Structures are given as C-alpha cells and as structure tokens.
Amino acid sequence: MNDPWIAAFVALFLWWFSTGAILVVVKLADRRGGRTGLWVTLAGLPALALGLWGMWVSSGIAGVGAVYHGFVSALAVWGWIELAFLTGAVAGPNRHVCRVDVPEWERFIRAWGTIAYHEVALVAALIGLGLLFADAANPFGFWAFAVLFFARVSAKLNLFLGVPKINTEFLPRALAHLPSHFRIAPMNGLFPLSITGLSFAVACWLERLVFVTDPAEIVGFALLTALTALALLEHWFMVLPLPDEKLWRWMLPAPKTKLDKTTTEDAHGL
C-alpha cells in the first residue's frame, strides 16, 4: 500500500465506486418518490458521523494507514453532502424552472437559489474541517475535501456559463428544475482558467510526490494527484464527445420514465 501507483488506483476506484453507489441510492429513492429522498439522507447520517470521526482520529497520526483512513473519511463526508443535494433534501429554496427571457443577473440569482443550501453546507464544512485539520500531522483528508470543493465550484460555474456537453441521464426528479438554469454553449471564458488551475494543482502535487521521502507523504500526495487529475478529467468531459455516463449507467436500475435531456452538473464523479 506504500506504492504511489496503488494509491492512485485506490483514488480512482473510490471515485468511481462512491459515485456509482450514491447514484444507485438516489435513483432508487427517486423511483419510490414521496419523502424517500429525505429519509435516505437521514439514514446516511451515520456515514457522515463516521467520516467526521475518521478524519478526527486519523488527523493526529502520521502513517500510511492514517493517510488512507483520512482520505476515505473525507470522501464519506463529501459523499453525504452530495447525497443530501441529489435527493433534494439539502438543495435550495428555488424549485422553479427559469424562464428564458430573464436577464443574466437574474438568471444567476435564480441559479444560486437552486443550490444555496448545498453551497452553504459545503462552505461550512470546508471552513470547519480547515480549522480542525489544516495544520494536523495528517492533513490529507482535509486537502482531499478542499480539492473536491474547488473542483465542484469550478464545474458549477462552467455549467452556468455554458459548455458544449452536459449529461442529464442521472438527473433525479427532485432536481428536475436545474436544467433551465444552465447553458449549452461552445465555450466560456472561465473554462480555460479552470483547466489551467487544475493542471497547475496536479503539477504541484506531482512535484511534492517526486521530492518527498516519507511513505505516508508519498501515499498522501499520490492520492491528491489522482483525485485532482480526475477532477481535471471531469472538466474535459464537458467539452469532449466521450460517453462518460457509461461508467455508471450499467449499475443503475432502469428508469420508469425518461427525463428531459437538458443540463445538470451531476453526471460526473464526486
């Protein structure tokens, strides 16, 4: 487990599996309807608690096992927040479809209203985890959460401004209003900056991975490099005609009804 290639594979597998697991749960809750999404979110609270506890326990231990423990725990915290969003339990006050004739500033306010509670939860989690673990002996769990946070914010802004390709296959009914707040466009001015920033982050993690000698740090920076590279790949999925939805489609139950093929942010990974 000290090998950086094994750590990178672990990050890849956890990204794929955790995304698929969340999509399966959301799809099943979506099919049952009613308040199932809320009950599923509440049932997932033990995973959130275990994630927070795992980050706390592992933060003071500078070892390979603790690095993996902190990384997995951070994914558990992130995954619960994403589950709460996808079920509609923690999304935003605006559940209405955006009209096509609204000005750009109003479209932004309306789009913010669809995800406001979710964004507040993410910011609160980032600040809280940063205060607790940023200077810990093992900060890799916090850094993993931070990578996911900034990559997700970048993805949301790019989807709002407009990208060529947005999948809608995994959009639940609770978020059926989201498509009207995003835009399909050839390109936007933020996308090159997002790609550059994520590429720079990958290079920074790689630089640390090359020069550190402690096994725990090697594993930690390998995990962060792989996770950031996956976030970069998700951004490229927005512009390249690649069937990335096939990574998870086979895991999901067949839908009862076909949803509108417009735009949503959650066809990609965590």
pLDDT one-digit tens code per residue, 18-28: 988 898 888 88
* Cα–Cα distance, 167 to 111 (Å, whole number): 18
Tokens of 79: 């995954």
What is the number of domains present in the chain? 1
pLDDT digits 0-9 by tens, 247-262? 777 666 665 554 444 4
Of the pLDDT bands very low, low, confident and very high (cuts 50, 70, 90), residue 178 is: confident
Q: Does residue 116 fall inside a structural domain? A: yes
Three-state secondary structure readout of 194-218? HHHHHHHHHHHHHHHHHHCCCHHHH
Residue spans of beta strands (DSSP E) within the chain: none
pLDDT for 223 equals: 96
How many CB atoms neighbour CB 139 within 10 A? 20
Contacts of 253 (CB under 8 A, 6+ apart): 24, 27, 28, 31
Residue 236: count other Cβ atoms within 10 Å of its Cβ.
14
Q: Answer yes or no: is 270 within a domain.
A: no
Tell me what the mean pLDDT of segment 75-96 comes to.
92
What residue type is assigned to position 81 of the chain? I
Is 256 within a domain?
no
Domain that holds residue 148: 4-249
Q: For residue 9, is it within any domain?
A: yes
User: What percent of the chain stands above pLDDT 90?
Assistant: 57
- Cα separation, 83 vs 76, in Å, equals 10
CA torsion angle 53 55 56 60 (round to 10): 150
Q: How confident is the model at residue 231 (pLDDT cuts 50, 70, 90)?
A: very high
Nearest to 178 by CA among 88, 252, 268: 88
